[in-house]
Amino acid sequence: MIYDTTVIGGGPSGLMSAISAAEHGAQTLLLEKGGKLGTKLAISGGGRCNVTNRLSQDEIIKHIPGNGKFMYSPFSVFNNEDIITFFENLGVALKEEDHGRMFPVSNSAKSVVNALIDQLKKLKVEVRMQTPVEAIHYGETHHTILLKDGNKIDTRTVIIAVGGKSVPYTGSTGDGYAWAKKAGHTITELYPTEVALTSKESFIQNKSLQGLSLRDIALSVLNKKGKTIITHQMDMIFTHFGISGPAVLRCSQYAVKEFMKGRNPVTMHLDALPAENEQQLIQQLAKEMKDNPKKAMKNLLKGLVPERLLEFLYKQLDINEDQKAGEVSNETLRNLIHSMKNFTFSVHGSLPIEKAFVTGGGVAIKEIVPNTMQSKLMSGLYFCGEILDIHGYTGGYNITCALVTGRIAGMNAALEAPTKVTSA
């Protein structure tokens, strides 16, 4: 037999494209090499599944630094509000949290994954688990998918939805790039994004700040002239190998791109008190020190930044923390506050792509029709999800791209299938 549409990959974009293809009348087959569907959905949002984001379309695109503008066209067909309606129609009630992030009311990713699997069954999508694909032979009237077990599948249209190279235990091991190349597609350089950064700084090596969490700081990546490339104001943590946490993940791709240009190390700038004006803070503390000359300096500064950071800065600047406020020079105070607002340090690398949350790079978007997700180089071939050279920050942006591109790929593959008359 010959299928209308075959989807390879049972992640967010694959599930959505299989449902979409079947809804649009295609006899649909879904191939998944692992033993579970929706593994990446199940771990997203800390196991609660951040299905999309409710910010405006322009804001969402701002949060997709990797070719986000490409998404304007797909969003004109199916967007984040449509994703919300789609899940609510499947009986998954959603709620909005900080920064527009949308979660199931159940707080369980399982409810999202199960609703998608139930919909596949309802639409009679044939699902084959533990079915790895070896290769795709492209033809004029149909394509033949060669399975690792030697079996073959004939299909009028094929959707490649196998993800990137990050989080490989979910099944994203980069299999799809070779199939895309065979069809003539360009794969742009792959690199880790949303990834922790490593540092050889002595305070990292001797673990003096390990485990220190900083709330609502401003972290920046500096270019080689010391100018800011990007700043993110969020939380971060010092680790045994470098730095991690939301602000670091968001800044990471900009540091990684600098490494890719051959620059190493890259300078990071940390402002531990982004809401405070440096000069005003110095004046305010100088007055308090003058008014309380017998008070220990460390007691006057308590609560300004976490104690461990304060102790670290005292050591860095060779300040006696037990000094009385009256004994501290204005210059010492200035240096200390300046360090809190301008702590610079070097990063020397990132964790590998397998440890990243998201893959940067992939199938070149200039070779994809944006409002159909069809290959410009091969008829009957579609791409969706993280295999494409599109990446966003964490917070529901990548899943939004996966679901939107999946929906459009499935619909258009189903519409194209009947036009491909298979020769006898």
Please, which pLDDT band fits residue 424 given cuts at 50, 70 and 90? very low
Strands 101-104 and 126-128: unpaired
- Considering Cα of 264, then 265, then 267, then 268, what sign does the dihedral take? positive
- What is the rounded distance in angstroms from the CA atom of residue 169 to the CA atom of residue 41? 13
| Averaged pLDDT for residues 204-231 | 96
Whether the per-residue pLDDT at 423 is higher than 60: the answer is no
| Averaged pLDDT for residues 152-180 | 92
pLDDT in tens, 242-294: 999 999 999 999 999 999 999 999 999 999 999 999 999 999 999 998 899 88
Read off the tokens for 344.
């610079």
Please, which pLDDT band fits residue 95 given cuts at 50, 70 and 90? very high
Q: Helix/strand/coil (H, E, C) string of 332-389?
A: HHHHHHHHHHCEEEEECEECCHHHCCEEECCECHHHEECCCCEECCCCCEEECHHHEC
pLDDT in tens, 122-155: 999 999 999 999 999 999 999 999 999 999 999 9
Fold of 2-190+355-419: FAD/NAD(P)-binding domain (3.50.50)
Q: What is the pLDDT of residue 40?
A: 87
pLDDT above 90 as % of the chain: 85
- What is the rounded distance in angstroms from the CA atom of residue 404 to the CA atom of residue 20? 11
Q: What is the DSSP letter of 109?
A: H
Q: What is the pLDDT of residue 421?
A: 67
- What is the rounded distance in angstroms from the CA atom of residue 187 to the CA atom of residue 177? 7
Whether the per-residue pLDDT at 51 is higher than 50: the answer is yes
In the chain, where does the domain assigned CATH 3.50.50.60 lie? 2-190+355-419
Whether the per-residue pLDDT at 187 is higher than 70: the answer is yes
Mean pLDDT score across all residues of the chain:
95
Q: What is the pLDDT of residue 170?
A: 82
Q: What is the DSSP letter of 168?
A: G
Q: Say if CB 163 and CB 207 are below 8 A apart.
A: no
Whether the per-residue pLDDT at 422 is higher than 70: the answer is no
Q: What is the pLDDT of residue 302?
A: 87
Q: What is the pLDDT of residue 167?
A: 80
Burial category of 189 from C-beta neighbours within 10 Å (exposed 0-12, middle 13-18, buried 19 and up): exposed
